Amino acid sequence: MAQLFPRWANVAARAILLALLCLVVGVPLGLMAWVRSPNVTSLGAPVSQPVPFDHVVHAHDLQINCEYCHATVMRTAQASLPSTQTCMPCHSDTWRKSAAFAPVRVSLARGTPVQWNRVNALPDFVYFNHSIHVAKGVGCETCHGRIDQMHQVRQAQPLTMGWCVSCHRDPTPILRPVDQVTTMGWRPPVSQAVLGKQLLVMNHVKAPTDCTTCHR
């Protein structure tokens, strides 16, 4: 009986099936890995600002508390940024007349805020409430890193869904006393495993993992 297909047809068919399998499985896996890469999350990338605000000088050298500038972080979903009027009293006349301070002078003259560039950006479909987290003992540096050591602020954590959910599943490693949430470089006085379990109960921490927690 004559062959309908040449001998190499079997090899070609297997190769095509293998290629289709790689395409169906490989492309989604590749995309999932790509969206979690620093190229997409901006992890570690410094963000330039219209004014060279140095957090090392303000948060470390001058020991200015995070809440002084981000005044609403304890009571609202947004951390907020300081108004231009908040910045002015602290600086000498020499610094106010400097070239670096020009955007601040323009802001003051026009009555418009300085257009700061966002460092940590979540998608529009993600809801995050700062006040809930700090009220339960999640420190600023847990998400933002050691701001007091950054001359130019950068994103310190990936802020992916997996990263957030991992904390919600077990928040004990990151909990601290509420009066220490803004302290940079805080270290637990006892084992974090022990302290975390205690604070979980004391602060009535409930970390839900259902979709509606963040997607409302």
Spatial neighbors of 105 by CB under 8 A, at least 6 apart, are 96
Mean residue pLDDT of the chain comes to 89
More confident of the two residues 20 and 115: 115
User: Where does the pLDDT of residue 174 fall: very low under 50, low under 70, confident under 90, or very high at 90 and above?
Assistant: very high
Distance CA 104, CA 87 (A): 9
pLDDT for 5: 66
User: What element of type H or E holds 196?
Assistant: helix 192-202
pTM beyond 0.85: no
Q: Summarize pLDDT for 124-169 with one digit per residue, the tens.
A: 999 999 999 999 999 999 999 999 999 999 999 999 899 999 999 9
Give the DSSP per-residue string, 11-55.
HHHHHHHHHHHHHHHHHHHHHHHHHTSHHHH-TT-B---SS---H
Q: What is the average pLDDT across 90-117?
A: 89
Backbone torsions φ then ψ of 175, nearest 5 degrees:
-75, 145
pLDDT for 207: 92
Q: Summarize pLDDT for 79-101 with one digit per residue, the tens.
A: 989 888 888 888 888 788 899 89
